[in-house]
Amino acid sequence: MSNAVRIHHFAKSGHAHRALVFAKLAGIAHEAVSVDLMSGAHKSPEFLAMNPNGQVPVLEDGDAIVSDSNAILVYLARKYAPDWIPDTALGEADVQRWLTLAAGEIAFGSCAARLITVFGAPLDPEFAAAVATRAMQKLEHGLEGRDWLVGDRPTIADVAAYSYTAHAPEGNVSLDPYPNVRAWLVRFEALPGFEAMPATAVGLAAE
């Protein structure tokens, strides 16, 4: 596959899933390049040349290299899928508010909680659970009376918030108290081109 856009990812990274699922939803031709984090491929000189932080995802588009999942969403939307990002200052500001939630309370909440159960990360589960609750409450409130976080159609705000919210039960974060969030997840997963991140049977998702 010889597309200009290459997305370096790890299958069970929610940050990488953001980039991959957006490319699929938006119909952006791309090549998914798996990075073997378990063998330390993200610390190789070749990978660190693209992202000195040694983290996935990384986007290559010709000579352009973009790291950070939210930055990749903005880049891809601006260049290839403008319908996924508002063209007004107020609309874009609203999207940015949710990107901040994804990089903040979602990352330190349901993402961190899942890192503990799936990868054995040495983090504080009580702190992660408390932060996850705050993020879920903000999502629940933001989805009150509406289908999507910004405007009347899905945007990169929804993409940024989706992966770690959908997989929150793997980190012992229940979705039961949040009917608006659960309905939103169903709508998101029904979008054409959607592809799920591999599930892990841990936490509340344990079989």
pLDDT digits 0-9 by tens, 60-72? 999 999 999 999 9
Q: Which residue bears the tokens 């996850």? A: 132
Contact 108, 125 (CB under 8 A): no
Q: Alpha-carbon distance 191 to 129, whole Å?
A: 29
**Mean of the per-residue pLDDT values for the chain?**
92
pLDDT score for 89: 97
Q: Give the tens place of pLDDT for each residue, 108-151.
A: 999 999 999 999 999 999 999 999 999 999 999 999 999 999 99
pLDDT score for 171: 96
Cβ partners under 8 Å of residue 133, min gap 6: 109, 173
Stretch(es) of the chain classified as CATH 3.40.30.10:
5-83
Q: Give the tens place of pLDDT for each residue, 75-88.
A: 999 999 999 999 99
Stretch(es) of the chain classified as CATH 1.20.1050.10:
86-205
Q: Alpha-carbon distance 117 to 124, whole Å?
A: 11
Which CATH topology does 5-83 take? Glutaredoxin (3.40.30)
Q: Alpha-carbon distance 170 to 177, whole Å?
A: 16
Tokens, residue 161: 């918030």
44: DSSP letter: S
pLDDT > 70 in the chain, percent = 90
Cβ partners under 8 Å of residue 13, min gap 6: 37, 56, 57
CA 26 to chain centroid, in Å, comes to: 15
pTM of the model: 0.92
Q: Is the peptide bond before 86 cis (omega within 30 degrees of 0)?
A: no
What residues pair up with 61 in beta bridges, in sequence order?
Answer: 5, 64
Task: Say which CATH architecture domain 86-205 belongs to.
Answer: Up-down Bundle (1.20)
